[in-house]
Structure 1
Amino acid sequence: MNRAYNFNAGPSALPFSVLERAQQELLDFQHTGMSVMELSHRSKEYDAVHNNAKQLLKELMNIPDTYDILFLQGGASLQFSMVPMNLLANDQIGNYVLTGAWSEKALKEAKKVGKTHVAASSKEANYTYIPSVHDIQLSEHAAYLHITSNNTIFGTQWHEFPNLPVDLIADMSSDILSREINVEQFALIYAGAQKNLGPSGVTVVIIRNDLLERIPENLPTMLDYRTHSTSNSLYNTPPTFAIYMLSLVLEWVKEQGGVKAIEKRNIEKASVIYDAIDESDGFYSPHAEKGSRSFMNVTFTLPSDEITKKFLAEAKERGFVGLAGHRSVGGCRASIYNAVPYEACEALAQFMKEFRKQFA
């Protein structure tokens, strides 16, 4: 079997050993005579899967007991609405830092709920950098400060988080579990699973417990964080297979040596591709400024659209998948999430060097 070099931005690569285990258990999960997809979400067998996923995430990210972990649906896009609905009171202002398309969408949804303020932005430079934490200007009566920790489209990432007198909320969909963070620096973290945590279908929300006390009454039941907190994310049928896959991915992360080991490997993976860019004498031009470069999404352009098309066509023949850049940046993008092996990044860097020699 020939496995592709999968650089898709999401849904993205999953660990091969996780796929093999899911395949082995697909028809008969733990001698139940059923697939995990067929189990009742009220069964003791599924309950063990559900709680194991929570416990592993808590262990790997060092999440204190003062936080709750929720498994929701709707992706990060639904969280763009749920965050202000739950946490933006009438007399407060939601503060947002704009660093790309997803933070723009989060702001757009918040505006439908209440008052907002752009605390910092790099839009004027087509999001080539992350604003300095010193340039963030909070409004009066700030309810929270919302950031997007990694920007898949533009290839930028926060390397220092704001430490301001306001609750910090982060969309970590594309870099959760890729590096060590201090969870206590955040009031709420949310992440769609389909980059580093598992397949699409489940969204993880890590929420500080005291935030639940400020949620307004009369929210729609399914859009109220308290509904899911008090029911252990089992108020309605959860995405059971996606949570099962999440638990397998978390076990894999633990087997790799935990988040610290994953972070070290991610830096090595990114470095081999960035080196190919930096050593190309301008043939490959990075979109992101050096201090804001993402370790998850490497974005770069080539000298012309014609050469870019040739690069992508030849890359496809070599087994590289998902390298086309987003239309707002153009060029190419290599998404190198946790499950993308170092060997794939090394092979891409080598291909980039060979292609440059041919067309420079």
Structure 2
Amino acid sequence: MSKRAFNFCAGPAALPEPVLQRAQAELLDWKGKGLSVMEMSHRSDEFVSIAETAERDLRDLLSIPANYKVLFLQGGASQQFAQIPLNLLPEGGKADYIDTGIWSKKAIDEARRYGGVNVAASAKPSDYFCIPAQREWQLSSGAAYVHYTPNETIGGLEFGWIPEVGEVPLVADMSSTILSRPLDVSRFGLIYAGAQKNIGPSGLVVVIVREDLLGKARGGCPTMLDYKVAADNGSMYNTPPTFAWYLAGLIFQWMKEQGGVEKMGEINERKQRKLYQAIDASALYNNPIAKADRSWMNVPFRLADERLDTPFLAGAEARGLLNLKGHRSVGGMRASIYNAVDEGAVDALLAYMAEFEKEHG
């Protein structure tokens, strides 16, 4: 095993070391073919097998129903902010959005370019420290869909529940929570997730869309952004991000070897619980998010004296604890503890936090 740092980056995030080692071993010669995955045709039998296996493993992990298409697309979640209304929001139509932080606000702003947007609920009155209760939501009549962000990566605010929206398709940006625990996909019309948290490297986005929502793209939708075109062509209307797709497939296999999303959920629950317990018991560190709405994947915390931020980060880096600086928009610290960040990394962070508090508290 190599000497690797503990990486708490929010994204691109840590990848499982066994996956990196396997990719390294196959980099020059994939299964005796004498070439890299990056060099083979996406139309070849070899790559089609890689793609089909990746989709099958993802379907197994999330128990995706047969009436859902799984798309492996270029770009990231931010492109989906436009692609979703182009496909699901008819001309002159409207959609409901829930505002819980920076990423949901970006989705709202982009959707407004294509049609009416009703912000049915907002966490702004609480300074984005708690999720608005569903009884307070003002959902529209005749909305094309309801969009929400289950986990706000920057603010660390997370839904612990799935909204009830009746027959209206529920659309979710699961970039930072997908595969972190079991999920009932059948509750959603569309799920999208940028890969660079729990799926793989950046440049790839996974879309899971119910089949009845395909074929509704507006006339001005570019062909490349039409979900039905992507589905009809097996996500290969053009050359896809082959290496990212291959790595995602390796991660799906690694997850199945770990025990699947059920086991990952158990591990992730322990990781976040011990980290929040230490923060709550501390006189130096604090987390402002309502306890019921705290993120499992992204744990922001502040030091009581901001002047300690710089020495804290320097000491962390010296101990191989990397990328703990909070997002520039909120400051403080943030530990992103995705699937590939094991309990040993969290324990090392907790030991350092205790040591730093003893010296500076």
**TM-score of the pair, normalised by structure 2:** 0.98
Partner of 2:251: 249
Among 223, 226, 241, the alignment partner of 1:224 is 226
- Which residue in 1 is equivalent to 2:45? 44
In the other structure, the counterpart of 1:173 is 175
Equivalent position of 2:239 in the other structure:
237
- Identify which range, 136-145 or 188-197, moves more after superposition: 136-145
**C-alpha displacement of 1:309:** 1.5
Q: Secondary structure at the match of 1:78?
A: helix
Residue 302 of structure 1 is matched in structure 2 by 303
**Would you say 1:288 and 2:289 are equivalent positions?**
yes
**TM-aligned CA deviation for residue 131 of structure 1:** 1.7
Please name the residue that 1:25 is paired with. Answer: 26
Q: Which residue of 1 aligns with 2:276?
A: 274
Task: Give, in angstroms, the shift of residue 276 of structure 1.
Answer: 1.1
Which residue of the partner structure matches residue 58 of structure 2? Answer: 57
Name the structure 1 match of 2:207: 205
Tell me if structure 1 keeps the 8 A contact 2:151–2:174.
Answer: yes
**Aligned with 1:264 (options 249, 266, 275):** 266
Partner residue, 2:101: 100
Moved more, 325-334 or 48-57: 325-334
- What secondary structure does 1:112 align onto? coil
Secondary structure at 1:275's aligned position in 2? helix
| Gap runs ≥5 in structure 1 | none
Tell me how far 1:156 sits from its aligned partner.
Answer: 1.3
Q: Distance in 2 between matches of 1:73 and 1:131?
A: 33
Deviation by residue 1:195-218 (Cα, 9 ceiling, x = unmatched)? 000111110000000001433345
Count matched residues. 359
Instruction: Give the Cα separation in 2 of the matches to 1:312 and 1:200.
Output: 25
The aligned residue for residue 142 of structure 2 is 141
1:7-31 superposed Cα distances (whole Å, 9 cap, x missing partner): 0000000000000000010000011
Helix, strand or coil for the counterpart of 2:31?
Answer: coil
Q: C-alpha distance in 2, partners of 1:355/1:344?
A: 17
**Distance in 1 between residues matched to 2:224 and 2:31, nearest whole Å:** 31
Aligned letter for 1:284?
A: Y
TM, length-normalised to structure 1: 0.98
Distance 1:140 1:269 in 2: 41
- Mapping 1:71-82, distance limit 5 Å: 71-82=72-83
Indicate the residue corresponding to 2:84 in structure 1: 83
Gaps of 5+ in 2: none
Separation of aligned partners in 1, 2:288 and 2:318: 25
> Per-residue deviation at 1:353?
1.1
CA contact (8 A) 2:94 2:144 kept: yes
- Secondary structure at the counterpart of residue 113 of structure 1: coil
Secondary structure at 1:214's aligned position in 2?
Answer: coil
In 1, distance between residues paired with 2:49 and 2:91? 40
- Aligned AA (2:325): A
Q: Percent identity?
A: 51
Conserved 8 A contact 1:120-1:135: yes
Contact kept? 1:188, 1:206, Cα under 8 Å: yes
**Partners in 2 of 1:276 and 1:350 — Cα distance?**
10
C-alpha separation in 2, matches of 1:301 and 1:90: 45
Return the alpha-carbon distance in structure 1 between the equivalents of residues 212 and 329 of structure 2: 39
Amino acid corresponding to residue 132 of structure 1 in structure 2: A
Shift of 1:96: 0.5
Distance 2:212 2:161 in 1: 25
8 Å CA contact 1:155, 1:287 repeated in 2: no
1:298 partner amino acid: V
